[in-house]
Amino acid sequence: MKLVILDGFAANPGDIDSEALRQLRTADGQPVEVEIFDRTPPELTAQRAADAQLVLTNKTVLDAATIGQLPQLQYIGVLATGYNVVDTAAARARGIVVTNIPAYSTESVAQMVFAHLLNITQHVGAHSDAVHAGRWQTADDFCFWDYPLTELSGQTFGIVGLGHTGQATARLARAFGMRVLAMTSKSAQATAAMGIEKAASMEALFRASDVLSLHCPLTAETHHLIRRETLQWLRPTAILINTGRGPLVCEEDLADALRHGRLYAAGLDVLTQEPPRLGSPLIGLKNCYITPHIAWATQQARARLWQIALQNIQAFLAGKPVNTV
């Protein structure tokens, strides 16, 4: 039996021990051959996975046409929580098991929400750069600041989606003394038990929020949730944070709102196209802070990812698959 990892580098650039993967055995004790590629371009996907029964992919697409070229394929393990890179209907029609990695990066993503928020409200990096450039040595006073400094305590933190990451983010917001308001399918009684208020509507949530953080799945209903019409519900002083999915935001409409002062700032870890296309409307905007989809990528979260990936494969080989999608 053979396992092919199509794009292992992003999840493990060399700082996580992969020896346990190489020790995999089938149910009858036979060793599993493991082949790892750092990256796989689309034109090589079918070729590299041609003789594999097991395939792991992070962002390499396994569409219906590709799956159709892999007659030996029995198992696809997605090295992420989202599994939109796999045509699950085509896999299901072939009896191919597809698994994902749930909840491995919850705390890391919540941490990134506040990394962006604290950067926007305190401008730590910009002020540090100013000090290193000599500004403090020549200041007339014992201190200086180039941007408004904002205290989070007492402000309203709005959350769209109250799954694992939304709840972890809410806990951090409450620790900062913020009122937390959420749009969620959970009952008001359930949210109240978490110290969170349930919003009556999306519009009510947007209008009440000083900070709005997106943690909902990408669906037909949430695609371009942030667009010209809904941006009008936010205050000009509001901050938008997106560590969820890039297409939750219409980037042209967000850029227009930021450029014309209808929104104070945005902190984004995801974009619609990754890497971003040349000419992306958000690149270069001074009040738009963008990180390259790294909220999930702490060493600890990636170690959990590989541990769960290994457990998923072991469960499949034992005939008891888990984390199936």
Going from the C-alpha of 27 to that of each of 47, 120, 185, 270, the distances in angstroms are: 27, 53, 42, 40
- The whole-angstrom separation of Cα 267 and Cα 164 is 20
What totals of helices (H) and strands (E) does the chain contain, helices first? 12, 12
Residue ranges matching CATH 3.40.50.720 in the chain: 2-104+299-317, 106-290
Annotated catalytic residue within 116, 245, 302, 304: 245
pLDDT for the residue 190: 96
Q: 181-195 as b/e, with b when 16 or more CB fall inside 10 Å?
A: bbbbebeeeebeeee
Q: Name the CATH topology of 2-104+299-317.
A: Rossmann fold (3.40.50)
Annotated catalytic residue within 227, 228, 262, 293: 293
- Answer positive or negative: Cα dihedral of 247, 166, 310, 20: positive
Q: Is 132 a catalytic residue?
A: no
Q: Which residue has the tokens 């928020």?
A: 117
pLDDT in 10s for each residue of the chain, 325 residues: 999 999 999 999 999 999 999 999 999 999 999 999 999 999 999 999 999 999 999 999 999 999 999 999 999 999 999 898 999 999 999 999 999 999 999 999 999 999 999 999 999 999 999 999 999 999 999 999 999 999 999 999 999 999 999 999 999 999 999 999 999 999 999 999 999 999 999 999 999 999 999 999 999 999 999 999 999 999 999 999 999 999 999 999 999 999 999 999 999 999 999 999 888 899 999 999 999 999 999 999 999 999 999 999 999 999 999 999 9
- The whole-angstrom separation of Cα 215 and Cα 162 is 7
Output the 3-class SS for 123-167.
Answer: CHHHHHHHHHCCCCCCCCCCCCCCCCCCCCCCCEEEEECCCHHHH
Q: Which two tokens stand for residue 289?
A: 């802070």
Q: Is 221 a catalytic residue?
A: no
What is the tens place of the pLDDT at every residue in 81-125? 989 899 999 999 999 999 999 999 999 999 999 999 999 999 999
Neighbour count for residue 43 (Cβ, 10 Å)? 7
Class for the domain spanning 106-290:
alpha beta
- The whole-angstrom separation of Cα 57 and Cα 88 is 13
pLDDT for the residue 264: 98
Three-state secondary-structure class, residue 267: strand
- Containing 212, the helix (H) or strand (E) segment is strand 211-214
What is the tens place of the pLDDT at every residue in 251-272? 999 999 999 999 999 999 999 9
DSSP single-letter state for residue 240: E
Q: Is 39 a catalytic residue?
A: no
Annotated catalytic residue within 39, 223, 274, 277: 274
pLDDT for the residue 279: 81
